Each structure stands twice: as C-alpha cells, then as structure tokens.
C-alpha cells in the first residue's frame, strides 16, 4: 500500500507496530473492559493490575464516584471554553485554594492535564536567553514544555544532565554566567525508575548558583512523605522547590494538573501559558473528583503508609529473587530486562498468566535497559501481591532472567 500524498509516505512505511501485532507481542492500547482497581478485565479475562498509577485506589472509590455524579448533574459534562474566557468555574478556584494550602505555596493554578501543566508553566517561565537545566530521565512532558519554549523563543539555552548526577549539574551551573536566569527542572519521583531526586543536594547547588527549582510531583504527592505531601515532606520539610506541579491522573484518581508557587509567578503563568489559554478547562466532575481525593488524602494518611509498605515489600521480593530493580525506593518497581524483544516476551507471558504490567522500551529508556515497570496501589491485598510476586518470579525463572 502506498499513499496518494508524499506527506503520508512515512505512515505507510511504518511497519513495527504491524509486525508486533502479527507476532502477538504488541502490548499497547489494550482496551480495559472493566476496571475494578486491583483487578481488570481485558479481552474477557480477569487480570491482576500491577501497572496502574491509581496509587491510592481512589479512581474507583465510591465517595469519588458519588461526588462526580452529583457535580455532573449540577454543572453538565464540559466547561466548553478555556480558563481565560468562559471556562473558569468557582469550583476551579476553590480547588486551587485548597491545593495551595496543601503544598504550602501562596497560589495554585489548574490545567486540563499534567502534560499541559508542564507545557504551559515551563514555556512561560523560561524566556529568550534563559537557561533551563533538566535531568535526562525527566518526564516527556517536561521536554515538551522545553520544546514549546524553544519553538516560541528560539534562543533558549537547554542543558541536560545525566540522571541524578549532581557533579554534572554543578559543572553546568558553573559554566553559566552568574546573573543569567536559570531554572533547574526535575521529577520528584522518577516515573520509570521509581527513585527520588536528592532535593537537599539540588537546593544547595541551586542556591550557590542562583538557580530556581521546578519540581514535578506527579508520582510523589500521595506516594511519598508521611502524609503524602511529596518530596519536600520526604526530606522532613528541610528543603523546598520554588515552584512545583502535580497531575490529578495518578494519586488523585481524576484528570488535570496544577502548578503552585508565589502569587506573582502564578499570575504571570495565568496570563501567558498557551495550553491554559487555548484549550478547554478541566471538566466539572474531574475538578470535584480531584478535590474529593485531596480531602481523602488528608483524612486517610494510612493509605499512603500502606502504599509505601507495599513498595518496600515488592522491591525486596523481586530483588531477593535476583531481579535488577534499579534504585527504586517507591511503589514504582522496575524490573530491568535487557533488550526490547525480551521485555515484550516477558510482558506477553505475564499477560497470559494474568498479570498486567507495562513494558518500557528504547528509546524511552537507554539501550539494553528495557524494563517491565510494575506499580502498586494501596488497595492491593497481600494475597494479590504474593500472587503477583509468584507469577513474575516463575516467569523470570522460566525465561532465564533470574
């Protein structure tokens, strides 16, 4: 088959997905028929879910569902416009006040997704001639924010340092003129490896070289810190980030995102962030779901503690079996497999045996570091976790991986 127009030639030449489908090892876009939290129905079979970001199990919590239904009935299904124009509800502003208080910042601003939050906040804060310094393992949405910055401002200086490598970070900072505006951007918890940024070390360097810190807390809020307040709480509130963001698509069981910081900074972002100004705002039911989740997180810190205990149990379980789990200290537990093909085969075997996990392959990870990303929910029972350990352990042995 070929295309009528040259512009589409690349689409017709793209074969990898087709080949993987034909070989029966294509792991992406699997429709989930019924999502009951720790168990899901896919292709008519029940699988144990070990690959969701619904960390606190709130996406299926009856209180979340009830609050969302009530809101749908009162406000309808959409805001039909951007925050800038007809798309701001009092509900958005009430949630923003609560979020700012929760993370200890003056103000917060909600976007429609976490991806848009990073795109909007980063592209607004980093301007012509400024320096942005980013960890190579940061989430794609951070890079997309930088790409948008580059597209808009042309002469932005982008520096990437090896993952959590503070010597390299310092070398970069030292090489930038002292008075040049600088923003260090980092994930709090890294989404694939499950390790945590050394924020105290980064803060020292940031202060020494007059750089501000932008912290992505997508996998940190609800996950680390005794009460789920994320990376700063994990470090006993001894350090801070100048500006932080989080998504609602993980611990908050909804969709959307927010950025928080000084009132003047948030007001500036509000007036210049293109993804906020030119895209429709968070729908009412999702605002209320996020708000309900925030209340539950505040009232039930035992969920966070259970999640942390599960993370420790699973990481220890897998590493005792001989798996390489990298440097995780969170409920994101990667199993480093090697090349892409091995990761696909491992994924498929687990899928057939009834465990859903996510394969992460190059180019998302460096060559020969293809992995199976496992992640857990505070609602997993010990029996479910033991079953997951057993199935993954048996499969690892059968495939000669451990």
Selected from 191, 254, 292, 349, the binder of ligand PMP by CB under 6 A is 191
Cα 188 → chain centroid: 10
Selected from 187, 193, 233, 242, the binder of ligand PMP by CB under 6 A is 187
Cβ(253)–Cβ(285) below 8 Å: no
Decide: is 57 part of the binding site for ligand PMP (CB under 6 A). Answer: no
Q: How far apart are CA 358 and CA 356, in angstroms?
A: 7
Give the nearest distance from C-beta 94 to ligand PMP in angstroms. Answer: 20
Selected from 83, 92, 105, 115, the binder of ligand PMP by CB under 6 A is 115
Using the minimum distance from each CB to ligand PMP, give the nearer residue, 47 or 122: 122
Q: How far apart are CA 23 and CA 94, in angstroms?
A: 51
Q: How far apart are CA 383 and CA 386, in angstroms?
A: 5
Which among 243, 248, 242, 245 is positioned nearest to 281, based on CA atoms?
Answer: 248
The Cα angle at residue 184 between residues 181 and 188, in degrees rounded to 5: 155
Using the minimum distance from each CB to ligand PMP, give the nearer residue, 230 or 396: 230
Decide: is 51 part of the binding site for ligand PMP (CB under 6 A). Answer: no
Using the minimum distance from each CB to ligand PMP, give the nearer residue, 259 or 401: 259
Decide: is 113 part of the binding site for ligand PMP (CB under 6 A). Answer: yes
Q: Interface mask (CB under 6 A) for ligand PMP, residues 232-271, using x and -?
A: ---------------x-x-------x--------------
Decide: is 330 part of the binding site for ligand PMP (CB under 6 A). Answer: no
Q: How far apart are CA 138 and CA 118, in angstroms?
A: 11
Q: Which residue has the tokens 């360097």?
A: 205
Cα 147 → chain centroid: 18
Selected from 38, 54, 68, 141, the binder of ligand PMP by CB under 6 A is 141
Residues in the chain: 402
Which residues bind to ligand PMP, rule: CB under 6 A? 113-115, 118, 139, 141, 187, 191, 216, 218-219, 247, 249, 257
């Amino acid at each position: 088959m070929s295309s009528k127009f040259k512009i589409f030639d690349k689409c017709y030449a793209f074969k990898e997905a087709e080949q993987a489908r034909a070989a029966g090892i294509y792991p992406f876009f699997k429709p989930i028929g019924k999502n009951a939290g720790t168990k899901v129905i896919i292709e008519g079979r029940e699988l144990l879910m070990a690959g969701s970001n619904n960390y606190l199990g709130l996406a299926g919590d009856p209180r979340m569902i009830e609050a969302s239904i009530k809101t749908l009935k009162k406000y309808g299904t959409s805001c039909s416009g951007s925050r800038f124009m007809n798309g701001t509800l009092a509900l958005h502003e009430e949630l923003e006040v609560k979020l700012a208080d929760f993370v200890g910042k003056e103000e917060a601003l909600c976007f429609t997704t976490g991806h848009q939050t990073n795109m909007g906040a980063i592209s607004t804060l980093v301007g012509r001639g400024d320096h942005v310094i980013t960890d190579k393992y940061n989430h794609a949405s951070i890079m997309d924010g930088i790409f948008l910055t580059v597209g808009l401002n042309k002469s932005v200086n982008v520096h990437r340092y090896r993952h959590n490598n503070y010597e390299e970070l310092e070398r970069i900072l030292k090489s930038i003129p002292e008075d040049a505006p600088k923003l260090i951007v980092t994930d709090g918890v890294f989404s694939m490896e499950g390790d945590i940024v050394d924020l105290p070390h980064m803060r020292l360097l940031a202060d020494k070289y007059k750089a501000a810190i932008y912290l992505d807390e997508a996998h940190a809020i609800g996950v680390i810190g005794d009460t789920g307040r994320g990376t700063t709480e994990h470090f006993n509130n001894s350090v801070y980030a100048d500006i932080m963001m989080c998504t609602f698509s993980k611990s908050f069981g909804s969709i959307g995102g927010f950025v928080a910081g000084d009132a003047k900074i948030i007001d500036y972002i509000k007036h210049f962030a293109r993804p906020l100004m030119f895209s429709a705002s968070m729908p009412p039911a999702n605002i209320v779901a996020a708000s309900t989740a925030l209340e539950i997180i505040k009232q039930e810190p035992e969920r966070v503690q259970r999640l942390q205990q599960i993370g420790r149990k699973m990481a220890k379980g897998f590493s005792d079996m001989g798996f390489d789990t990298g440097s995780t200290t969170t409920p994101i537990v990667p199993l480093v497999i090697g090349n892409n093909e091995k990761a696909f085969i491992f994924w498929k075997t687990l899928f057939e045996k009834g465990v859903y996990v996510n394969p992460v392959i190059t180019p998302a990870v460096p060559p020969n570091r293809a992995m199976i990303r496992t992640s857990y929910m505070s609602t997993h029972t010990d029996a479910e976790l033991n079953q997951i350990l057993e199935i993954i352990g048996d499969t690892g042995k059968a495939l000669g991986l451990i």
